[in-house]
Amino acid sequence: MARVPIFAPKFMIILSLIFSFSTILVNGDQDHEFVRSMDRKLLGLKKEKLSHFKVYWHDILTGPNPSSIQVVPPLNTSITAFGLVRMIDNPLTLGPEMSSRLVGKAQGFYAQASQQDLGLLMAMNLAFIEGKYNGSTITVLGRNEVFSTVREMPVIGGSGLFRFARGYVQARTHMVDLKTGDATVEYNVYVFHY
Ligand SMILES: *[C@@H]1O[C@H](CO)[C@@H](O)[C@H](O)[C@H]1NC(C)=O
Ligand SMILES: *[C@@H]1O[C@H](CO)[C@@H](O)[C@H](O)[C@H]1NC(C)=O
């Protein structure tokens, strides 16, 4: 009992310190802004520009180095292969030949999302390696009805030089090998970015 008065002052100091810290923390929240409007120049954003990129997208299903691999089989009751999912790491080249200059990869997946026809859900990042675009990406998400002459899909965003990107792509089949399923598709990408 005799020791209590000796410890009590220290205890009070600790208690008051804890309380004053918590007071500081609570007040500190008022200094943390949740949102503010800002000048776009602070992010180095000048004038928005429109660019057109043309690349060839190679869906290689067969051979020693396939770039497109089935990860979910289609429902075996489906005549349209509904449910099929393929993961892709498809080369993007400047010309239609695989030997032409590699400028990036289309990485993501496509899934057969239509029970009536061939309507793919495409979800992919065009990851560029060419010149100043090396490391920048464009994200495409959309519907690809592969038997249509021109398929349009939205560009929903991007990174690096494509921050704030918006736009669309148009895909046209250049070549399909009906035996293997390998395909080369011309992609025209129209994108607003800074
Ligand atoms: C579909 O797959 C299930 C399970 O693997 C199997 O039991 C069934 O026989 C298959 N149906 C057809 C039409 O192939
Ligand atoms: C792209 O950038 C990576 C990482 O910075 C680098 O290793 C690579 O050599 C570059 N590729 C080209 C084609 O410039």
Report if pTM > 0.85.
no
Q: Mean pLDDT score of the chain, rounded to an integer?
A: 90
Our CA angle for 157, 158, 164, nearest 5°, is 65
The ligand that comes nearest to the alpha carbon of residue 105 is: 2
pLDDT at residue 14 in the model:
52
Q: What percent of the chain has pLDDT over 70?
A: 85
The ligand that comes nearest to the alpha carbon of residue 129 is: 2
Residue 116 has φ and ψ, to the nearest 5°, of -100, -35
Distance 103 CA to ligand 2 centre (A): 11
pLDDT, one tens digit per residue, over 59-79 is 999 999 999 999 999 998 999
pLDDT at residue 1 in the model:
45
pLDDT, one tens digit per residue, over 111-162 is 999 999 999 999 999 999 999 999 999 999 999 999 999 999 999 999 999 9
Q: 29 in helix, strand or coil?
A: helix
Look at 31 and 115; give whichever has higher pLDDT: 115
pLDDT at residue 42 in the model:
92
CA distance 151 to 139: 16
Distance 158 CA to ligand 1 centre (A): 41
Structure-block tokens of residue 4 = 């209590």
CA nearest neighbour of 57 among 187, 191, 189: 187
* CA dist 64 → 8, 60, 89, 116, 153 (Å): 78, 10, 14, 33, 30
Nearest CA, atom 10, ligand 1: 76
Whether the CB-CB separation of 94 and 101 falls below 8 Å is answered with yes
Contacts of 26 (CB under 8 A, 6+ apart): none
Looking at the CA of residue 130, tell me the nearest atom of ligand 2: 13
Q: What percent of the chain has pLDDT over 90?
A: 79
pLDDT at residue 10 in the model:
59
CA distance 137 to 92: 13
Whether the CB-CB separation of 155 and 167 falls below 8 Å is answered with yes
Contacts of 20 (CB under 8 A, 6+ apart): none
The ligand that comes nearest to the alpha carbon of residue 78 is: 1
Structure-block tokens of residue 161 = 């030089």
Cβ atoms within 10 Å of 156's Cβ, excluding its own: 15
Average pLDDT over residues 10-35: 60
Structure-block tokens of residue 9 = 């002052």
